[in-house]
Structure 1
Amino acid sequence: MAQTIARNFTIRNMLLAGILLMLAGDFMFALNDAMGKWLVASFSVGQVVLIRSIGAFIVLGPMIANQGAGKLFQMERPVLQLLRVVATTLDTGLFYAAVVHLPLADVMSFYMAGPIYVAALSHLLLGEKVGWRRWLAILVGFCGVLIILKPSSAAFSLSSSYALIGSVAFGFAIILGRLLRGTSDTTLVTWQTIGTLIVGGALTIGAWNTPSALDFGAMLLLGVVSCAAHLMITRALKLAPASTLAPLHYSLLLWAIVFGLVLFGDVPSPRILAGSAIVVLAGIFIFHRQKVVETAVPPQNVPKGVN
């Protein structure tokens, strides 16, 4: 009896710890995004991405040392590894390019459609069975994206296209992550960071703006914060079911609205709020149906990993 009570207490504590870690990780991702928007107002996207990637190695360094640098080159399916690096680099670079001119909440609304893209791409690329209910949710979710995008000649912008393409690249990165389950998190994140480092360095040529010590430190902090947030969410998924945590991940959108309003004076339009609500509800329904069908939601389905 005492052992049963102790076991149930431990399970509840693990569940609570997972929920708190997920919420904390989401907050840090949102803070990272707000810091990035502030920095790209004064520095090129390439420069921010370059220094951010260098900062990420403050966290990755000890992890690489613990794993062993040699294991970074012992990769399964190198072509897919390369494609994933391309996808995550597009995801990161286009996100920062989009927030140069768009409010955080607008850009985040596109990225909240990640699970919808994943559900559609899983059927097309992985051959996973998607029932009619989830296809209906996918179509409804895409309608939400179109409401956010408002693809008319008067409203459509280059920044909106950056956000849309970046969010689709994020979906591809998740699919490729599923195909590379045997690769450690350290290896995956290290190579995607190297990818953003190289591209950021190339984009910085001819566009370097010498930052102050404060700005340089803030760009380094971007990498530290995003890596820490990623590790928090990875740990949360090991402590609590993904189906429990996935809806909490949409708190990113709430934080994007708060930071956008407080730091930049951006007030989301009714159109953005309506489209976001449709996307979030469609995403939550997809998680629910996947739980019903498979009894468990793959951790890779949680929206917006490292950004």
Structure 2
Amino acid sequence: MNTAAALLPTRTLAGIGLAVAATACFGLLDTTVKLVGAVMPVLMIVWFRYLFHAVATTAVLLPLRGRAAWRTAHPRFQLLRGALLLSLSLMGVVALQQMPVGEFTAILMFTPLAVTLLGATVLRERVSAWQWALVAGGFAGVLLVVRPEGEDIGWASILPLTMVFMSAWFQILTARMARTEDPLTMHLYTGWVGALVSSALLPFVWQAIPDARTFGLLVLVGSMGTVGHLMLIMAFQRAPASTLSPYLYAQIAFAMVFGWLVFAHVPGTVELTGIALIVLCGAVSGWRATRSRSLPIAPPED
């Protein structure tokens, strides 16, 4: 038996395991952000998260690659990608102070379907009737989670809905850049763009960290974001996107579990139905997109 063929199942299983572990990190990240946001300014939380990311990634990459770690063919796109992600992070922290973690995560999981929608309406890509049906089904799920006529989430739902379409552009940009850019170099630039921009704004909101518990929560925010993204990169190096995409929806389950453990929040029947619709339509859409070799699925960022 060919050695490479024999190792393939093991590599694929490792990729799946890494992807699921990454979604657990992101679920814990969002839960911790919601918790620490009660006592710290939004910008300070985001600043600490990106500073940790930047320093940790640099400490790993520079000894291995030296100056080559910074080599990029598209520095302007690296800056744009970093700025987009920083904006998403700021909106995410604000939204998590106003709504449950599970519902917030579920709305963001509409992003792959939004990529399809933008691909058809803006990039003029061909979209099949099946894909339109999946987009419609996923949006119906979002409406069930948000429930515009209800008062449980209210105006805060505008933030993750805005994030969905910003994230869709971020994913499209990431997918285009991934054709020529090293994923770890992109990861490095993402951290430093976020850290430097937020540092420039930090004097306007700076306050002392009140206690060791809060500092520990900030460290957890930084480490979960950094480790989660590194594991996701490693997962996509070991298994194809079509294999991994359904497992990325495990983030919703982790978010609901952590939300229940920390905040005692349990989604109602209507919300759970909407979440199930988003997961089903998004997973099928991602699988069909990768099978048809259309725009590749980029790892979700947080």
Q: CA deviation at 1:15?
A: 1.5
Contact 1:76 1:180 (8 Å CA) reproduced? no
Counterpart residue number, 2:220: 221
Q: 1:126 to 1:82 in 2, by over 3 A?
A: farther
Contact 2:171 2:297 (8 Å CA) reproduced? no
Per-residue deviation, residues 134-185 of structure 1 (Å, max 9, x unmatched): 1221122122222222234856633211221122222111111122121222
Q: 1:117 to 1:216 in 2, by over 3 A?
A: same
Q: CA deviation at 1:188?
A: 1.9
Distance (Å, rounded) in 2 between the aligned partners of 1:14 and 1:297: 24
Q: Superposition pairs for residues 102-113 of structure 1, below 5 Å?
A: 102-113=99-110
Q: CA deviation at 1:48?
A: 0.5
Per-residue deviation, residues 98-143 of structure 1 (Å, max 9, x unmatched): 1112110011011111111111223344443221211221122122
Aligned-partner residue type, residue 197 of structure 1 = A
Aligned-partner residue type, residue 207 of structure 1 = V
Contact 2:18 2:235 (8 Å CA) reproduced? yes
Contact 1:32 1:226 (8 Å CA) reproduced? yes
Aligned-partner residue type, residue 260 of structure 1 = G
Distance (Å, rounded) in 2 between the aligned partners of 1:199 and 1:19: 34
Q: Percent identity?
A: 26
19, 22, 41: which one pairs with 1:22?
A: 19
Q: 1:11 to 1:187 in 2, by over 3 A?
A: closer
Distance (Å, rounded) in 2 between the aligned partners of 1:253 and 1:153: 22
Q: 1:198 to 1:291 in 2, by over 3 A?
A: closer
Contact 1:55 1:219 (8 Å CA) reproduced? no
Q: 1:160 to 1:14 in 2, by over 3 A?
A: same
Distance (Å, rounded) in 2 between the aligned partners of 1:45 and 1:226: 16
Moved more, 254-263 or 134-143: 134-143
Identify unmatched segments of 5+ residues in structure 2.
none
Q: Superposition pairs for residues 131-142 of structure 1, below 5 Å?
A: 131-142=128-139
Contact 1:144 1:276 (8 Å CA) reproduced? yes
Q: CA deviation at 1:269?
A: 2.2
TM-score by length of 1: 0.88
Distance (Å, rounded) in 2 between the aligned partners of 1:145 and 1:198: 34
TM-score by length of 2: 0.89
Q: Superposition pairs for residues 223-302 of structure 1, below 5 Å?
A: 223-294=222-293, 298-300=296-298, 302=299
Q: CA deviation at 1:259?
A: 0.3
Q: CA deviation at 1:297?
A: 7.6
RMSD, aligned α-carbons: 2.4
Aligned residues: 299
Aligned-partner residue type, residue 183 of structure 1 = E
Counterpart residue number, 1:184: 182
Q: Superposition pairs for residues 1-307 of structure 1, below 5 Å?
A: 3-4=1-2, 7-65=4-62, 66-69=64-67, 72=70, 74-152=71-149, 154=151, 157-181=154-178, 182-201=180-199, 204-211=202-209, 212-294=211-293, 298-300=296-298, 302=299, 304-305=300-301, 307=302
Contact 1:48 1:200 (8 Å CA) reproduced? no
Per-residue deviation, residues 40-94 of structure 1 (Å, max 9, x unmatched): 111111111111111113421224413334653x543444333322321121111
SS state at 1:123 partner = helix
Contact 1:22 1:249 (8 Å CA) reproduced? yes
Contact 2:111 2:168 (8 Å CA) reproduced? yes
Contact 1:108 1:256 (8 Å CA) reproduced? yes
Contact 2:290 2:297 (8 Å CA) reproduced? no
Distance (Å, rounded) in 1 between the aligned partners of 2:46 and 2:22: 20
Aligned-partner residue type, residue 19 of structure 1 = I
